[in-house]
């Protein structure tokens, strides 16, 4: 299972003071050095964290894979078609939300999403759709020619009881199996951390996880390089079914 590092939260800290530090582009370099196999960033319409300069510099400097999260709006689509990321992940976007709250409304936005996918494919850019693990949504993603889905793991991450977590995990597992049976690539993300990653890492159909907040939060205490290495190590060990505890701070 590959580890993708979402660097939006580094940009959030920068924008809190309106200065130049910390630089998310530098964070991407450190993350790659420490073992990240993808860099993820979300260029929002309101530019609340990642900005156009960040995206262009990331495209020039990222050596692994650049996954650009974005809403399917004309302005952001045009930017993506210009810089050619390695993967586009289409996500829902609300101005008032603190972070992405749910998967795409793929049924209500089918035509918009299908048109966007066609435009990206003309530039040979693969497309992932950020979806809740619902059979109907996953089948529709296949119908409109998406290349990947990214399973929204927020309900699992926010579960309050063991039973609820188990139920949500089973939905994720089933969704991943269904997607692979339809020849869709499978990524996963949202709310994943050092404590809840173990069951996700053992779902063999999931190829890559996107993790941001937990790693950047840990980096405050340990440094970014170690925080990334700790998570990369957990993914390797859990994917191999080694039963270990999470690293200590």
**Angle formed at CA 209 by CA 206 and CA 215, multiple of 5 degrees:** 155
Of the listed 9, 42, 49, 152, which one is catalytic?
42
DSSP-H helix ranges across the chain: 8-17, 24-34, 52-61, 74-83, 110-122, 135-143, 154-157, 162-181, 197-201, 213-222, 224-239
Token pair listed for 248:
């200590």
69 belongs to the catalytic site: yes
177 is catalytic: no
Q: What is the dihedral of CA 224, 24, 187, 166, to 10 degrees?
A: 50
Active-site residue, selected from the candidate residues 9, 32, 49, 69: 69
d(CA 43, CA 159): 28
The Cα–Cα gap between 244 and 130 comes to 30
Give counts: helices (H), strands (E), the chain.
11, 8
Residue owning tokens 């210009």: 82
Rounded Cα distance between 246 and 226, Å, is: 13
Active-site annotation holder among 9, 49, 152, 190 = 190
Q: How many CA atoms lie within 13 A of 133 on its CB side?
A: 26
User: Is the previous residue joined to 22 through a cis bond, with omega within 30 degrees of 0?
Assistant: yes
- At 51 the three-state DSSP class reads coil
Residues with a known catalytic role: 42, 69, 190
């Amino acid at each position: 299972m590959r580890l993708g590092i979402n660097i939006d939260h580094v940009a959030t800290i920068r924008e809190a003071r309106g200065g130049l530090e910390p630089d998310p582009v530098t964070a991407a370099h450190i993350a790659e050095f420490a073992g990240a196999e993808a860099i993820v960033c979300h260029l929002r319409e309101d530019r609340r964290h990642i900005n156009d300069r960040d995206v262009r510099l990331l495209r020039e400097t990222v050596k692994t894979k650049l996954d650009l999260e974005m809403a399917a709006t004309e302005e952001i689509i045009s930017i993506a078609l210009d810089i050619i990321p390695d993967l586009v992940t289409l996500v829902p976007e609300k101005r008032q939300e603190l972070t992405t709250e749910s998967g795409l409304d793929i049924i209500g936005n089918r035509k918009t999403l299908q048109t966007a996918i066609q435009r990206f494919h003309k530039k040979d850019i693969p497309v992932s759709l950020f979806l809740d693990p619902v059979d109907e949504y996953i089948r529709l993603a296949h119908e409109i020619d998406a290349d990947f889905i990214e399973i929204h793991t927020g309900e699992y991450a926010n579960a309050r009881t063991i039973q609820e977590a188990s139920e949500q995990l089973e939905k994720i597992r089933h969704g991943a199996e269904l997607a692979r049976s339809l020849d869709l690539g499978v990524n996963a993300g949202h709310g994943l951390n050092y404590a809840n990653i173990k069951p996700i890492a053992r779902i063999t159909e999931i190829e890559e996880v996107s993790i941001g907040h937990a790693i950047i939060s840990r980096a405050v205490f340990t440094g970014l390089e170690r925080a990334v290495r700790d998570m990369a190590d957990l993914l390797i060990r859990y994917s191999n079914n080694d039963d270990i505890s999470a690293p200590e701070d």
